[in-house]
Amino acid sequence: MRLIEALVARLHQTRHLVCGHQTLAVSAVHEARKNLKNIRAGLRMLSDAGSVDLGQANALCRDVGRLLSGLRDTDVCLLTLEGLVAATPNAREKLAARLRTRREELHEASAPDPRAQREIAADLAGVEQVLRGLDPGRFDESKLSHAVDLSRQLGERRYQALTAGPEPERFHDVRKAAKRELYQRRYLAGAEGAAEQRVELLDCLGEHLGRHQDLCVLRSVAEAFGELSEALADVIEAEIASERAQCLAMAGDAYGGRE
């Protein structure tokens, strides 16, 4: 089955990214985490389409992703900070220096040793074994499409919660739902016309929601480091407000118009 084979291929790629090198580059961390989220979306799609319990496989992917989260957050803060051209160079550089030091510390603490690499490889192999054991006959196109619609319904519920109270965590909840639906729609064959337009909308929404989250994380980290000057705080808050407005508008387009 095409979906199962695609998920297995991503598992192999993730294992190579995490276990095939002595150090983890920024790009490897990003790609591995994106792969794991993509795999989890596919697992949920199969679970909903075929009424099968894939909770353990999903949990294994989640655990591997969490091992990389600290490195990813530091990398994102550095990249987001570099993009704040309105901030003074002095304010940016002081925080950037702290972030670079923190990243080096995290690399030393979390670089996968041979034992950790074996455990991660075993977890990913366990997920592959589960996928290989599934009966492809349980998953026809109509059931897979229904599973994707369930993800859309989740996004609609989370959007309603967001409009009731736009707290940062609710933006994150909408982003997770949008990413799940996006990844699942890309697994469906022959996305054309309206379906293709929705993929583009979800992709763009996810990017803006991601930047909103990255800015919120940067603000929290800068405050924790004692490097959130008034000038830097003003720049970050202005960027957050701009992204918030775009996110709300795009989320309304994606999840607010269906009866």
Place of tokens 């991503």: 10
Residue 45 and residue 187 in contact, taking contact as beta carbons nearer than 8 Å? yes
Give the pLDDT mean for 161-174.
94
Radius of gyration, CA atoms only, the chain: 20
End-to-end Cα, the chain, rounded Å? 34
Residue 45 and residue 143 in contact, taking contact as beta carbons nearer than 8 Å? no
Give the pLDDT mean for 11-20.
89
The alpha helices in 188-229, defined as continuous H runs, are 194-224
Tokens of 61: 């992917």
The candidate with the shortest Cα–Cα distance to 17, out of 30, 33, 28, 6, is 28
Measured distance CA(211)–CA(138) in Å, rounded: 38
Q: What distance lies between CA 53 and its chain's CA centroid?
A: 22
Please report which confidence band the pLDDT of residue 193 belongs to, taking 50, 70 and 90 as the band edges: low
pTM of the model: 0.89
Residue 189 and residue 140 in contact, taking contact as beta carbons nearer than 8 Å? no
pLDDT at 88 over 90: no
Count of residues in the chain: 259
What tens digit of pLDDT does each residue of 91-124 get? 888 899 999 888 777 766 555 667 778 888 899 9
Which range, 78-87, 153-162, 192-201, has the best average confidence (pLDDT)?
153-162
Measured distance CA(255)–CA(156) in Å, rounded: 5
Topology of the domain comprising 2-255: CHAD domain (1.40.20)
Residue 102 and residue 74 in contact, taking contact as beta carbons nearer than 8 Å? yes
